[in-house]
Amino acid sequence: MNLEETLLKTYGFPSFRPGQKEVIEKIVAGQDVIALLPTGLGKSMCYQLPAHLLEGSVLIVSPLLSLMQDQVAQLKKMGEKSVTAINSFLDPRERKQVLNNLGNYRFIFVSPEMLVQPFIKKRLSEIRISLLVADEAHCISQWGFDFRPDYLRIAEILPAIGHPRVLALTATATSKVTEEIKKYLKITEPFIYSHPMDRKNIAYDIRKFANGNEKLEWLCSFVAENKGPGIIYAGTRKKSKELSGLLNLAGIRTAYYHGGMEHQDRIFVQQQFQNGELEWVCSTNAFGMGVHIPDIRHVIHFQIPTSIEGYVQEVGRAGRDGSPALATLLYAYGDEELLQSLVLDDLPTNNEIREIYRSSGGSAQLVEMGIVRETSLKVVSYWKNLFTEKETIRQIEKQKIEKIRQSDKIRKLVEMDSCIREYLIESFDQTLEEKPPNCCVNDGLDYTPFLESRNNATMDVPDTWESRLNVILSC
């Protein structure tokens, strides 16, 4: 079997990208694989090609509906007809038809929440699954412990579907996250392919300001003077909406995006951005997965991200075409307070844990009564099946300690005066072999390659701008 010939015949590519062939060879040979491939190296091919060489279907667990729909659309664009996604987009008639013909599909996409539903598990157990893929596998650690515990239950499907090969795909994972992927996917001796994560065309900049007013003024001026496409990451949904509103007021084609929006609205924003109808998107960390835009020139973090892992994931959405791209982190005095609240506020409180464990009338009522948050109920209900009340409190306390450790690492990024790139690479247990000429602000940056002026770029600030600015800064 010649993999290059199969690649050319099936997808029209004459050669593999780095890492693809090594991963595919192990999968075809029957081995479990964890593949760490930076954004833009074609992770999807690692399961697409094996699907044409193995008998049965490939089951892909995908984290977001928008990402799932995009993956399905990409496959169909490449001529693949035997592909489906089991999600809330299907009406009852369509779902029945898909489930009745499930074994006829080469690619089956499903969310973690849908995967653990009994009727889905039963139907999957009745067909042949050759490969289970955990796409964006870092979400097992990043989201599973925090607000989507069904990520920790993916391996429950394995006995029902005959223990197929398992492929975990991600762009970034520390050694700790890699161990959690192994544990929760129940893969004991996988082949691990770890490609150097350094993207040399991305330069790292950090801008420090005395207060939030200065920071916002810089952002508005920078976006007005320089062309996109670009992403501005904000720490909260409210802030993403406010930044978008301010930039729109200045005549810049911008939209906001966050996880609380209606699903169709999120897809619409994503499609507008991909079609070039928007220059910038102001978003929480919900935006980015599945966004295939090669020429994003700027990723700006308006507030400190909550972890090094998340920061590198988000920065990695820039410069996929290999051309120079700039990652800019904005910091103003007092931003640490927001970071602390973002890191800890979503975790279940001890009181919520006690209420859920001691509820006799059904835990769902606690959410309706406003005693417990819905996310807390999901997380605690998962651990309740495994631990006593005291053990769950200890488990959440461990998560709190880990989140504080992660925030300390990202805080150090802002404070340091040594090489930012080197620090990021070492955070992922890799070694920086060679610095690019334009590395980071602490080594000196030439901003010329990253900046492209908008035509007649001057910010036409309306008379009400100062008052709007004050309102935003007070939030």
Q: What is the pLDDT of residues 364-418, one digit of tens each?
A: 889 988 999 998 999 999 999 999 999 999 999 999 998 888 889 999 999 999 9
Cis peptide bond upstream of 437, omega within 30: no
- pLDDT at residue 344 is higher than 90: no
Categorize the per-residue pLDDT at 172 as very low, low, confident or very high, splitting at 50, 70 and 90. Answer: confident
pLDDT at 468: 47
Q: How confident is the model at residue 473 (pLDDT cuts 50, 70, 90)?
A: very low
Place of tokens 């239950």: 153
DSSP state letters, 91-121: -HHHHHHHHHTGGG-SEEEE-HHHHTSHHHH
Interhelix angle for 389-415 vs 308-315, to 10°? 60
455 band by pLDDT with thresholds 50, 70 and 90: low
Average pLDDT of the residues in 249-272: 89
Residues 135 and 62: beta-carbon distance below 8 Å: yes
The domains located in the chain, with CATH, are: 3-194 (3.40.50.300), 202-338+408-473 (3.40.50.300)
Q: Is the dihedral of CA 114, 119, 122, 123 positive or negative?
A: negative
Position 460 scores a pLDDT of 46
CA gap 301, 239 in Å, rounded: 12
**pLDDT at position 458:** 43
Distances (CA, A) of 76 to 9, 82, 107, 445: 16, 8, 11, 42
Given a cut of 70, whether residue 71 has pLDDT beyond it is yes
Report d(CA 166, CA 50) in Å as an integer. Answer: 12
Handedness of CA 404, 407, 412, 414 (dihedral sign): negative
Do the beta carbons of residue 301 and residue 233 sit within 8 Å? yes
Mean pLDDT of 31-43: 87
The residues that bridge with 77 in the sheet, in sequence order, are none
pLDDT tops 60 at residue 474? no
Tens of pLDDT, residues 123-165: 999 999 999 999 999 989 888 888 889 999 999 999 999 999 9
The CA distance from 422 to 399, in Å, is 27
Mean pLDDT of all residues belonging to the chain = 89
pLDDT of 219? 95
- Its pTM stands at 0.87
pLDDT (average), residues 188-204 = 93
- Residue 271 has a pLDDT of 87
Tell me if 153 sits within 8 A of 81, measured CB to CB.
no
* 203 compared with 73, residue with greater pLDDT: 203
Closest CA to 53 of 10, 16, 20: 10
- Token pair of 88 as six digits: 């809330």
Cα–Cα dist 279/281, whole Å: 7
Report pLDDT digits (tens) over 294-342: 899 999 999 999 889 889 989 999 998 999 999 999 999 888 877 777 7
Contact status, residue 130 vs residue 55, Cβ threshold 8 Å: yes
Local confidence band at 263 (pLDDT 50, 70, 90 cut-offs): confident
329: enclosing H helix or E strand: strand 325-332
Helices (H), 130-236: 139-142, 175-185, 212-225
Q: How far apart are CA 51 and CA 131, in angstroms?
A: 8
Predicted confidence at residue 290, as pLDDT, reads 66
**What are the φ/ψ torsions at residue 190 (nearest 5 degrees)?**
-80, 155
Across 191-195, 253-257, 283-287, least confident range: 283-287
**pLDDT tens-place string over residues 210-240:** 999 999 999 999 999 998 899 999 988 999 9
Q: What are the start-end ranges of the H helices in 253-388?
A: 263-274, 308-315, 335-344, 350-358, 364-368, 374-384
Between residues 454 and 32, the one the model is more confident about: 32
* 411-438 average pLDDT score: 93
246: left (phi over 0), alpha (psi -120 to 50) or beta: alpha
Q: Is 463 a residue whose pLDDT tops 70?
A: no
Whole-number Cα distances in Å, 297 to 39, 203, 236, 447, 448: 15, 11, 23, 12, 12
